[in-house]
Amino acid sequence: MRILWISVLIVVLDQATKIAVVRTMHRGESIPVVGDWLQFTFTENPGMAFGMQLFTRESMAVLAIVVTVLLFWYLFTVRGGYTPYLASLALVFGGAVGNVIDRTFYGLILGYGDFLQGKVVDFIHVDAWRGYLPEALPLVGGAYLPLFPIWNVADMSIVVGVVGLLVFQRRFHELAFEEPKRDRKRLRELEKEREEAQNAPGGGAEPVSGPASEPGTTATQASPASDDVPPRAPSAENTGPAAAEAAAESEGNGTPGEAFAPPEESAASAESSEPSADDKAAGNDRSPSAEDSPSAEEEERA
């Protein structure tokens, strides 16, 4: 899935900034960036968001791994869905993987714990607000509360991803569930209309498509140009004017077969009528003429 490249980018950026902080800063050190409003403060969070620690570090690490695996499974399940929604999921998944690496390996890497006993490295310090809470609030009214969240790139990615999920989830569910449902309903309506058209009187025959047929005609016989039609013998109707004249002449002469004499016999008769080479040499290449034939008087004398 190409959308996972967003998660990979988040993980690389998160781990790169954490490694830079661990190597260049001391725990508790603060570097002003934009006055007192934005600082880089190196802290470690062993618990959940805002430092809440409800379970042991090992339990928190296992829980984070389970949630991350479930996120990946859900992302894989909806991988063909609405792209902005998938991008938001990829942001959440990348941030989750970044913090899981801290909880799983940083105890061993930094030398303060075992496997699954790591703490999440936070360093982006935003001093958003400091002041007293309203007196009308139960239990905490009138208390002084400084809001200075310290987080990291993974936390920021999770927050942005959750906001994206809230914004794009409606469109995602429309494309994933509502529109396919409407398409299936429309398909059933079309199938019902087609069945009604087929059951109607005269609705069983379908018109023949193609240039050789007119609209409304049905397929009753094969086309003359089709291969299924056997070839017919030449006749006076389909051999042209010359063949028709030859057939009429042969019928008048009583020799109906001469009009369609084989080419071999015609060639043989032509060769027999020609004088041979010996006759030409002897001077007998003259064809019979009126001078050579006996006259009527000679026949009477004979």
Residue type, 250: S
Query: Which residue range is the domain that position 35 belongs to?
Result: 4-132+144-184
CA distance 87 to 69: 17
Query: Does the residue 75 lie in any domain?
Result: yes
Query: Does the residue 89 lie in any domain?
Result: yes
User: What does the DSSP assignment read for 88-146?
Assistant: HHHHHHHHHHHHHHHHHHHHHHHTSS-TT---EEEEEEE--EEEEPPTTSTTTTT-EEE
The count of residues in the chain is 302
Q: CA nearest 146: which of 29, 54, 50, 52?
A: 50
Residue type, 178: E
Q: CA dihedral in degrees (74, 80, 84, 86; nearest 10)?
A: 20
Q: How many Cβ atoms are within 10 Å of 86's Cβ, its own excluded? A: 22
Query: What φ, ψ does residue 32 adopt, rounded to 5°?
Result: -65, 140
Cα end-to-end distance, the chain, whole Å = 120
Exposed / middle / buried, residue 208 (Cβ in 10 Å: 0-12, 13-18, 19+): middle
Query: Does the residue 256 lie in any domain?
Result: no
pLDDT at 267: 45
Query: Does the residue 150 lie in any domain?
Result: yes
> Known catalytic residues?
122, 155
Query: Does the residue 269 lie in any domain?
Result: no
- Rounded to the nearest angstrom, the gap between the alpha carbon of residue 53 and the centroid of all alpha carbons in its chain is 48
Query: Does the residue 172 lie in any domain?
Result: yes
- How many domains, the chain? 1
CA distance 100 to 64: 6
pLDDT at 268: 45
pLDDT at 242: 52
pLDDT at 269: 47
Cβ contact 103:116 at 8 Å: yes
pLDDT at 50: 63
pLDDT at 217: 46
Q: How many Cβ atoms are within 10 Å of 33's Cβ, its own excluded? A: 13
pLDDT at 225: 45
From first to last of the 302 residues of the chain, give the pLDDT tens digit: 789 999 999 999 999 999 999 999 999 999 999 887 899 999 998 887 766 777 888 898 999 999 999 999 999 999 888 999 999 999 999 999 999 999 999 999 988 889 988 999 999 998 877 788 888 888 777 877 777 788 999 999 999 999 999 999 999 888 877 777 777 777 888 888 888 888 877 655 454 444 444 444 444 444 444 444 455 544 444 445 555 555 555 554 444 444 444 444 444 444 444 555 445 444 444 444 444 445 555 555 54
User: What does the DSSP assignment read for 210-259?
Assistant: STTS-TT----S--TTSTTSPP----TTTSHHHHHHHHHHHHHHT-TTGG
Lookup: tokens for 252: 């008048």
Query: Does the residue 19 lie in any domain?
Result: yes
Q: Which residues pair with 144 in a beta bridge?
A: 132
Query: Does the residue 77 lie in any domain?
Result: yes
